[in-house]
Amino acid sequence: MIVFSRARIDDDKEPDFDDIRAVLSNSANVFVGSAKATGPKRAEAAVISALKVPLLLNSKIEGARNILLAISSGKVKITIDEIGEINDYIQNETGHCTNIVLGVSEDLKLEDAIAVNILATGF
């Protein structure tokens, strides 16, 4: 089950401080991951890489109750299918019980890449 407390799919709209505050409130542990990828499976590659943070190799997002997910795309816009693929992957990794606050924005410097930033809390 995917629950969006606020789903924003507008260009140039990234998560703001209210979103960050909502995700971080009453949370002791925080997982942060970030990655970008290109190519035909760029969504899958980006989310997998974002969850494989070298400093947190043994850390997983299983059981996270809240996730702030920021996705940026460049000249080649992200598709709804790619957003769904990223959400599905995160839900599988958390155990299908997380609240995702999603922000999608455009960053032309990314060219044909997408960037995925994940902040997970509530373990």
Report the CATH number at residue 100: 3.30.1330.20
Domain coverage including residue 80 = 3-121
Which residues touch 70 (CB under 8 Å, ≥6 apart)?
A: 14, 15, 102, 103, 104, 105, 115, 116, 117
Q: For the chain, what is the domain count? A: 1
Asked if residues 51 and 118 have their Cβ atoms less than 8 Å apart, the reply is: yes
N residues, the chain: 123
CB 40 within 8 Å of CB 97? no
Per-residue pLDDT of the chain (123 residues; tens, 9 = 90+): 233 333 344 444 555 657 666 666 665 677 788 999 999 999 999 999 999 876 555 567 888 888 989 999 999 999 999 999 999 999 999 988 888 989 999 999 999 999 999 988 887
